[in-house]
Amino acid sequence: MDTIEPDDIPGRIGRPYETAHEPAGEVHIHLDGDHAEILYVAADPFPPTDFWAGGARGRLADPAEADSRLALSLRVTEEGAELAVGPPTAGGKVLLPPESFVSAYAEGRAGGGDLLAWGRRQVAAYDAWRRGEVYGVVRESLSLSRGSSGLPDVQANWAVLDFAGAEDLLRETAERRASELGQSGAPRL
What is the C-alpha to C-alpha distance for residues 97 and 183, in angstroms, rounded to an integer?
37
pLDDT band at residue 180 using 50, 70 and 90 as cut-offs: confident
Within a domain: 51: no
pLDDT band at residue 185 using 50, 70 and 90 as cut-offs: low
Within a domain: 93: yes
Poorest-confidence range of 36-50, 63-77, 144-158, 174-188? 63-77
* Predicted TM-score (pTM) of this structure: 0.67
What is the C-alpha to C-alpha distance for residues 146 and 161, in angstroms, rounded to an integer?
38
Residue 164 in this model has a pLDDT that exceeds 80: yes
Count of domains for the chain: 2
Which of 8 and 71 is assigned the larger pLDDT?
71
| Amino acid 91: pLDDT | 64
Instruction: Quick: pLDDT tens for 58-116.
Output: 777 777 776 666 667 776 666 667 766 666 666 677 777 777 777 777 776 655 557 77
Asked whether residue 148 falls in the same domain as residue 171, the answer is yes
Instruction: Please answer whether residues 34 and 12 qualify as being in contact, where contact means their C-beta atoms are separated by less than 8 angstroms.
Output: no
Within a domain: 185: no
| Amino acid 15: pLDDT | 62
**By three-state DSSP, how is residue 117 classified?**
helix
**By three-state DSSP, how is residue 89 classified?**
coil
Within a domain: 138: yes
Which of 167 and 4 is assigned the larger pLDDT?
167
Within a domain: 188: no
Within a domain: 149: yes
- Domain with 155, as residue range(s), is 3-46+132-180
Asked whether residue 38 falls in the same domain as residue 68, the answer is no
Asked whether residue 136 falls in the same domain as residue 121, the answer is no
Facing residues of 156 across strands?
Answer: 138
Asked whether residue 144 falls in the same domain as residue 120, the answer is no
Give the list of residues 6+ apart from residue 145 with CB closer than 8 angstroms, or none.
34
Identify the domain boundary among 115, 130, 145.
130
Give me the percent of the chain exceeding a pLDDT of 70.
71
Asked whether residue 67 falls in the same domain as residue 100, the answer is yes
Q: What is the mean pLDDT of the chain?
A: 76
Asked whether residue 22 falls in the same domain as residue 34, the answer is yes
Asked whether residue 21 falls in the same domain as residue 63, the answer is no
Within a domain: 25: yes
Within a domain: 115: yes
Which of 143 and 106 is assigned the larger pLDDT?
143
Asked whether residue 122 falls in the same domain as residue 88, the answer is yes
